[in-house]
Structure 1
Amino acid sequence: MAGGGSDAAETTSLSCVQCGKPAHLQCPKCMELKLPREGAAFWLVYIYIYNFVTQDCFKGSWSSHKSVHLKAKLSTSGAQNSDSLNEGWRYCLRKGKARTLKLPHFDWTGALRPYPISNNRTVPNHIDIPDWALDGTPKIEPNSDLQHVVEIKTPEQIEKMRETCRIAREVLDAAARVVRPGVTTDEIDRVVHEATIAYGISYLGDTHLLSIIISSQSLAARRSVNEVICHGIPDARKLEDGDIVNIDVTVYYKGVHGDLNETYFVGNVDEASRQLVQCTYECLDKAISIVKPGVRFREIGEVINRHAIMSGLSVVKSYCGHGIGELFHCAPNIPHYSRNKAVGVMKAGQTFTIEPMINAGVWHDRMWPDGWTAVTADGKRSAQFEHTLLVTDTGVEVLTARLPSSPEMFPWLDA
């Protein structure tokens, strides 16, 4: 188990915080934070090592125990000061293959800047990971036949997709609940990481690639820039009142992927940003409404583009939705703009994402020096929403749909 452990003779006095039985190893996150041994042990260790109990014991304690980690982190680290750099915080370069202490030189399109990022988070060895998890580069995916043929999922695959996508939704909801001014995107990344580890699954953030997209509009520090489109990296910057932030979560469980994202308001957001986010939500909603057998994939872009243009906004053309399943990205490609050349028609059993990125200004994008973060070419705001979908015999099933327990984040839904 990640984080290691001591032999039983040294820890027999410790009891599980959930069931009270003797526990011989610590919570790996407590060990990473170097917390005292007393009270830190979990019966969780038996799940994967001795197989004495179920995962319910750890999950039942998680909601209360995770606060221990947060308090320890807040009391020992100042993520936005020089102490952070001494703890390993660096700016990201070359898709994480390099780090630097200095802010990279770049012709920034807006006022938002990258902040240092923390070290990669540890994934326990018992958790299965896809082949792209260690470096962000898929190995099997590029040469798969499924890049050219849209897979019809079997009933077994579909059931796995349902389960994985529901977990992805619950993880995203957990992240949404901590969005507020003063919270760093690195802290949001930690919440997602710990939530997925509690489920015994892996997610895109396992190698610090959870996509958190920040749009800042603070006139004092950031000016009204709001320029990140997608693939932003969690860092030490604190969310500010008036920001909008997109959180993109992908989980990998039972050999399949689930993918979704939403854009949230941070504190008091101006009306233009609210209209941008609502329009983007509506673009996705309208696109989903036409999904059914026999519809051409290229029609999705027509629907999205029409609604965005009517609102005076533009649609990003550099990134698209995609097929998903055992592979993270595969056929079909789902462009979100009009007059696209997507090939094929929808058939029952297909699974894919729709994830429109809508800009307040031009649709063109540029890439930051980290090799991941895409920003608007004119520095204006951008928003995004995404769902994983299943084409059914009669229409569509939104596999990542909001749940009755999902936090109320969008005023237009309440209305």
Structure 2
Amino acid sequence: MIPIKACQEIDKMQGGGQILAKIMAELAAMVSAGVTTKELDEKAGDLIRSFGAASAFKGYHGYPADACISVNEEVVHGIPGRRRLKEGDIVSIDIGIKHDGFFLDMAQTFPVGRIDTMRRRLIETAKGALEEAIKVFKHGNRLVDISRVVQVHVETRGFSVVRDFVGHGIGRALHEEPQIPNYVTKGESPLLETGMVFAIEPMINAGSWEVKVLDDGWTAVTKDKQPSAHFEHTVALTDKGPVVLTQ
């Protein structure tokens, strides 16, 4: 069963989403050559607490940080540490909070200074895939329509869609039903209904879709060491259509 939220619950989630968007904007302003991923994480933790929220990630199944920060070939769940950003890198920041009883989740990928054309196209394609997915999160469509539009948008531009990690429902728990693949799968697909709230998150690679998890048990990297990009918003389906809560 996919949980359905009442209007009042979505309003509460939107309040938390606006906080999360402000936190992401502060972190985006920090992204520059010389900054360590640990410094970004420490800033994220300070900001989360300053807004009276709690980190959704720290301690989740033992995850050790407030944010997931993934650089270049790191796809998702990168553990912050001593790695120092350098000119030409791309860095994905994935943060989640719990506020007023509800979870919010978002991610963005940023250039570090000047980046090459391929990396810029990769970021633009991942961002565009999320925008297209949000457009089809509407009445009369099915969950698979979100998956299809992401896959088509990405693959027609010469990139690949990660199979091992997917989007998800979100609300009173960080991960709720349904799972939201970024590629078409077989089987019956549920109809989209008012009150559904999804964390839609295309993760795409410059090369092969295949990934592996490092020995730290968290950091997922591309098997071919090609760069990866990740964008995510928490989105509610209302009577008026999709509403992005994390903006």
Cα deviation digits, residues 46-79 of structure 1 (max 9, x gap): xxxxxxxxxxxxxxxxxxxxxxxxxxxxxxxxxx
Give yes or no for contact 2:97–2:105 (8 Å, CA) kept in 1.
yes
Q: Which residue of 2 aligns with 1:358?
A: 204
Matched, 1:180 2:180: no
Separation in structure 2 between the aligned mates of residue 342 and residue 191 of structure 1, nearest angstrom = 43
Equivalent residue runs for 1:71-110 within 5 Å:
none
CA distance in 2, matches of 1:337, 1:309: 10
CA distance in 1, matches of 2:37, 2:113: 15
User: What does 1:43-58 correspond to in 2, within 5 Å?
Assistant: none
Distance (Å, rounded) in 2 between the aligned partners of 1:274 and 1:342: 36
SS, match of residue 177 in structure 1: helix
Distance in 1, Cα, partners of 2:75 & 2:146: 20
Structure 2 equivalent of residue 260 of structure 1:
106
In structure 1, how many angstroms separate the alpha carbons of the residues matched to 2:40 and 2:242? Answer: 31
Give the deviation of 1:311 after TM superposition.
Answer: 0.8
2:141 matched to 1:295?
yes
2:10 — aligned with what?
158
Structure 1 counterpart of 2:108, which letter? E
Cα separation, 1, equivalents of 2:77 and 2:244: 23
Q: Give, in angstroms, the shift of residue 158 of structure 1.
A: 1.1
8 Å contact from structure 1 (residues 298, 341) kept in 2: no
- Residue 167, structure 1, aligned to residue 19, structure 2: yes
Q: How far apart are the structure 2 equivalents of 1:254 and 1:340? A: 37
Higher strand share: 2
1:208 correspondence with 2:65: yes
Measured at CA, do residues 243 and 364 of structure 1 come closer, stay the same or move farther in structure 2, by a change above 3 Å? same
Count how many residue pairs are aligned between Structure 1 and Structure 2.
Answer: 242
Distance between the aligned counterparts of 2:186 and 2:25, measured in 1? Answer: 33
Q: Which amino acid is 2:54 matched to?
A: S
Deviation track 1:5-64 (CA, whole Å, cap 9, x = no partner) reads xxxxxxxxxxxxxxxxxxxxxxxxxxxxxxxxxxxxxxxxxxxxxxxxxxxxxxxxxxxx
Q: How does 1:216-227 map to 2 (within 5 A)?
A: 227=73
Structure 1 unaligned blocks of 5 or more? 1-148, 216-226, 402-415
From 16, 25, 49, the equivalent of 1:197 is 49
> How far has the Cα of 1:254 moved from its partner?
1.1
> Bigger radius of gyration, 1 or 2?
1
TM-score by length of 1: 0.57
Q: Percent same amino acid at aligned positions? A: 38
CA 1:363–1:390: 2 relative to 1, 3 Å = same
- 1:340 and 1:183 map into 2 onto residues whose CA distance is 43
Which residue identity does 1:320 align to in structure 2? V
SS at structure 1 position matched to 2:229: strand
2 CA distance for matches of 1:284 and 1:342? 23
- Tell me the TM-score normalised to structure 2 length: 0.95
Please give the alpha-carbon distance, in whole angstroms, between the structure 2 residues aligned to 1:394 and 1:169. Answer: 22
1:263-342 matched pairs, under 5 angstroms:
263-341=109-187
Aligned position for 1:234? 80
Pick which of 342-351 and 389-398 moved more. 342-351
Gaps of 5+ in 2: 59-63
Provide the C-alpha distance between the structure 2 equivalents of 1:198 and 1:260, rounded to a whole number of angstroms: 18
8 Å CA contact retained: 2:94, 2:105: yes
Q: For the Cα contact (< 8 Å) 1:209–1:233, is it kept in 2?
A: no
Tell me, in whole angstroms, the C-alpha distance in 1 between the residues paired with 2:16 and 2:122.
30
- In structure 2, how many angstroms separate the alpha carbons of the residues matched to 1:360 and 1:165? 30
User: CA–CA distance in 2 between the matches of 1:175 and 1:198?
Assistant: 14
Aligned residue for 1:353, secondary structure, equals: strand
1:87-124 C-alpha deviation (Å, 9 max, x unpaired): xxxxxxxxxxxxxxxxxxxxxxxxxxxxxxxxxxxxxx
| Corresponding letter in the other structure for 1:174 | E
The 5 Å alignment of 1:113-124 reads: none
Distance 1:342 1:292 in 2: 18
Over 3 Å counting, the alpha-carbon distance change for 1:346 and 1:275 in structure 2 is same
CA shift at 1:155, angstroms?
A: 2.3
- Assess if the C-alpha contact under 8 Å between 2:44 and 2:66 holds in 1: no
What is the alpha-carbon distance in structure 2 between the residues aligned to residue 373 and residue 338 of structure 1? 25
Q: Please state how far the C-alpha of 1:365 moved relative to its aligned partner.
A: 0.8
